[in-house]
Structure 1
C-alpha cells in the first residue's frame, strides 16, 4: 500500500508503538461478512442453512462466512434475506437503540446498509426517513430498501439544513454516518488513498460539524443521536465530538459496548483533554475483525429549559403535521387484486396516489410537501385503466402467507435461476392463472403471470441476474 507520507507521519504520531501493527494489517483479511435481515428471517434459522465461521460480536445479526461461498449470487440474496456488509459498518445501526414504533432518521443513508438495519429493528412499526443529499446515491439506496422488504420508510434527497427546518425535535433516534476522509477503508478500497490529504481531513471535519448541528435540532428531548465515521482522523472523530458537546450543552455522551478489540475514544486526541470521549468507540483493523470505524452516541436532555435559544428557534419552526391522505376512489382492479392480502383492510386507511401510482404511507407519516421525495412509503403498483400492475417493491414486502396466489421452489431448483434471469418458467400446476407471487423457499422474489402451466416473467428488469 503506497500511503502518503503525511498520512504515515500522522498515523505514526497517533499510534506510536502500535503503528507497525497497523501497517501489518494491510497484509491479512478478516474474511467476508453479511447481516441477516430480520424482516425476512431470524439469525438462528439462517445459521441452520449456511456454513458460517463466526458471529460479529457487536452485531447479533452479523456473521462471517467462508470465502468460497458466493453469497452475492445466491437466490436468498435476491430475496433480501441478508445484506452483504463490512463488519465494522454494522456497528452504528447496532449501537443506536432503535425500538419498534420509533421515529428514526438516517441522515446520510446511501447506499442503504445502515437504513436496512434500522428498518429491521423497527419491524414495520413507526417510521424511518432515509435521506441522502446525492440524487445518484439515492438510486442504490432505494433498491436496497425495496429488496429488504421495508414498508414503513420515506426516502428523501435533501440537505440536512432543510430537513432541520421541517423536523425540529421530531425524531426519537437519528443516525449520522458522516462523509469522511475514509482512512479506515484504505485496506478495503485502496483507490481512496489517492484523494487523501490533510486539507481534505480538515474540510471533512468542518462538514461533519455542520451536519451534526442540523441533526441535533431534529432530536426530540430524551432522544438519541449516533455519530459515526470510517476514518481514524482525530479531527473528524474525538475533536468533532468535542466540538459538538461544546456547542450543544443539552447533549451528553453515552457509553457504548466494548468487545473483541473495540477501544475507547482517546481523551488525549481532543483539544481540551475531555475525559468523557472515552465513551466513544474506535475500531482499529489490527485489533478487530473489520475495517476502521468510529462511533459516538449522544443523548438529548429530557428538559432543555437551560437553553432559551432552543425554544426561541422552535417557536419559529413549522409544526410537523401528518400527511394528508389522497381521497381518490380505489380502482376496482386494485381492490380485486389487493383483497388477497390480509393487511389490505388496514392499508386502505394509508393509501396515497400520485397520478396512477399507489403508495402505502407509513403510519402517522409527516407532511412531506415541499421536500424532494424519492419514495413515499411502500410503492404498491400502478392503476392503469381497467387493470392493476403490482410493483416489485410490494412483492418484496410480502410473505408467502401474505398473498393467496403464490408458488415456491427450493433454492436449488433451476426454475429459480431462470426466473432471476428474466426467463419464462414452466410450472407444475397448470391450473394457476393470473398474477402469481414467485418465491424461493417461501421468500418472495417477484411477480409472474401464469397461464396454462407457464409463468410469464415480471421480475424487475433492472434487478435481473446477469
Structure 2
C-alpha cells in the first residue's frame, strides 16, 4: 500500500471497542485499531462499454475484473473521462458484488437495487446485465435520487429505470425480480477510517435504530424476489445486530436457501455462518486490517423454488398520466432515421423521446404503473418538424449517433466545454456537433455560423 499514512487518531466509542473486542479478540483488535487510523486507497471501476485506457499507476482489485487501486488520488473533477462515464470512483470492498454475480453465474433478467444512490452498485449491475436485462435503481430520498439519475445517465447503457419510492410502494411487485440488492442504511462502522464524523455519531442506540429500519426494509424486499431468484443484502458495518441477525430475520420470515460464495484464501475475507430454519447460511465480512478496502458485510440468499413468480401481462391499451407509447410503424421510422437496430421501444414524456429495450417493455410498463419514475432507458431529445434537438443523455449513452459530426477536444478544451464556457474555434461543422475527448462523447454544441452554443447541462458543469 504505497501511499498509506497514519491519520490523527480519533478516539473510538467505548461501546464500539467492547463490541469489536468480542468480535475479534484483543490481539486482532489492536491490528484493527491501527488499520482504521490509516488512509484508505483510492479505487475505480472501469465502464467496459466505453473506450478508456487507464493512464494512472494502478494495480488490479483481486475480486473485480474491472476494478483498480490507484497509487495516487487524481483530481477526478478535472478529468473529462469521468464526466463521460468511462469509470466510477468506488470503494473496493463494494466491488465484491461483481465476483458474486460472475462466480455464481446469476441469471440475467429484471433486477432491483432498492437503496441505490449514489449509484456505484447500480452501475455495476447495469454493466453485468448489458442488453440481457433491465435494472430498477430506486432511491427513497429525492436529492439522492437526482445524483443516482445523473450517474446512471453518465454510465450510459440505457438498461436502467430510476425510481424515487419508499420500499413499501413495491408491494404490487411481489415475486417480480430475478435479483434484489439491498445495500441497507446502517450505522456506518465500516466508514470509520474514511469519516471521523461517523465515529462521533456512532452509538448503540443508533445501531438499534438502524437494525429496526433494516428489518422494515427487508420485510418488504424479501417478498420481491421470484422463485429461484437471489437476494443480496449488504452493509458497511461490522456488528452482528445489523448483519447476522438480519439473516436470521429474513430466513424466519421468508423461504430462502443458503448460498456459499467461492473465495480465494489470499483475499482475507472472513466467512461467517448462521444456523437458521435448520440450514446454515453464510455471510462475508471485510475488515480493514485484513483487506485493501473499507469495512463491509454481504450475504446472498436464494429464493426457494416453491415461491411466487409474477410475470408482467401484456396490456391491450397502455395508459399512463405522463408517458405516451409510440406504436410499431412510427418506431420503425425512428429506428431508420436514427440509425438504430430495431431492438428498441419508444415513449414520449413532455414531448421528449425515450428509448428502452423492447425485450423488457412489459416489465417497464408494469413498473411505470406503480413507481415514481425519475428516468428510464435513454432520453433521445425532441423533434421539431424534421430536425432533432438531441439530448445530453443521448450524447453520453452507448447508442449510435451516426448522423452527427464529431469534434475531438484536447484535455484543456474538454475542461472548458465541461465548465460550459464558450469554445473558440473555426473548425466546427455547421449545426449539431458531438464533442468528444479521447473518443468519449461529452455532449453537444450547435454551430450557428456566427456563434457556437454550448449545450452541456448547466447543473452538471465543472465549478472547480
**8 A Cα contact 2:407 2:433, kept in partner:** no
2:172 corresponding residue in structure 1:
166
Instruction: After TM superposition, give the deviation of residue 86 of structure 1 in Å.
Output: 1.1
Change (3 A) 1:251 1:341: same
Aligned equivalents of 1:22, 1:274: Cα separation in 2: 34
TM-score by length of 1: 0.85
Instruction: After TM superposition, give the deviation of residue 143 of structure 1 in Å.
Output: 0.5
CA RMSD for the aligned pairs?
Answer: 3.0
Matches within 5 A, 1:31-70: 31-41=41-51, 46=53, 49-67=54-72, 69-70=74-75
**8 A Cα contact 2:409 2:435, kept in partner:** no
**8 A Cα contact 2:40 2:194, kept in partner:** no
Instruction: After TM superposition, give the deviation of residue 239 of structure 1 in Å.
Output: 1.7
Return the match for 2:234 from 201, 223, 228. Answer: 228
Residues 1:249 and 2:241 are matched in the alignment: no
Change (3 A) 1:246 1:258: farther
Aligned equivalents of 2:295, 2:440: Cα separation in 1: 34
1:286 corresponding residue in structure 2:
289
2:121 corresponding residue in structure 1:
114
Aligned equivalents of 1:18, 1:274: Cα separation in 2: 32
Aligned equivalents of 2:305, 2:176: Cα separation in 1: 14
Structure 2 residue runs without a partner (length 5+): 1-9
1:359 corresponding residue in structure 2:
354
TM-score by length of 2: 0.86
**8 A Cα contact 2:38 2:193, kept in partner:** no
- Secondary structure of the 1:96 match is helix
Matches within 5 A, 1:34-433: 34-41=44-51, 46=53, 49-67=54-72, 69-97=74-102, 101-163=108-170, 165-267=171-273, 276-277=280-281, 279-304=282-307, 320-321=312-313, 324=318, 326-327=324-325, 341-343=338-340, 345-347=342-344, 350-363=345-358, 364=361, 365-367=364-366, 368-383=368-383, 388-398=388-398, 402-409=401-408, 411-412=410-411, 414-427=412-425, 429=427, 432-433=429-430
The superposition leaves residues 385-425 of structure 1 with CA deviations (integer Å, 9 ceiling, x where unpaired) of 775422111111136x632323242553x322221111222
The superposition leaves residues 228-261 of structure 1 with CA deviations (integer Å, 9 ceiling, x where unpaired) of 1000011111121122223223332333434544
The superposition leaves residues 156-198 of structure 1 with CA deviations (integer Å, 9 ceiling, x where unpaired) of 11122221x2212111111111111110001111112222111
**8 A Cα contact 1:337 1:388, kept in partner:** no
Instruction: After TM superposition, give the deviation of residue 153 of structure 1 in Å.
Output: 1.0
Aligned equivalents of 2:451, 2:72: Cα separation in 1: 37
The superposition leaves residues 111-156 of structure 1 with CA deviations (integer Å, 9 ceiling, x where unpaired) of 1111011111111332110011111210100000011113121111
Instruction: After TM superposition, give the deviation of residue 450 of structure 1 in Å.
Output: 2.1
Instruction: After TM superposition, give the deviation of residue 28 of structure 1 in Å.
Output: 2.1
Instruction: After TM superposition, give the deviation of residue 346 of structure 1 in Å.
Output: 4.0
Change (3 A) 1:382 1:205: same
Instruction: After TM superposition, give the deviation of residue 101 of structure 1 in Å.
Output: 4.8
Residues 1:19 and 2:29 are matched in the alignment: yes
1:457 corresponding residue in structure 2:
454
Change (3 A) 1:284 1:374: same
**8 A Cα contact 1:408 1:441, kept in partner:** no
The superposition leaves residues 60-110 of structure 1 with CA deviations (integer Å, 9 ceiling, x where unpaired) of 111011215323421111111000111112223542357685111101101
**8 A Cα contact 1:419 1:457, kept in partner:** yes
Return the match for 1:2 from 11, 17, 20. Answer: 11
**8 A Cα contact 1:104 1:127, kept in partner:** yes
**8 A Cα contact 2:50 2:398, kept in partner:** no
**8 A Cα contact 2:172 2:370, kept in partner:** no
Change (3 A) 1:180 1:322: farther
Change (3 A) 1:322 1:126: farther
Aligned equivalents of 1:142, 1:22: Cα separation in 2: 36
Change (3 A) 1:100 1:391: farther
The superposition leaves residues 244-279 of structure 1 with CA deviations (integer Å, 9 ceiling, x where unpaired) of 223223332333434544333334xx68799834x3
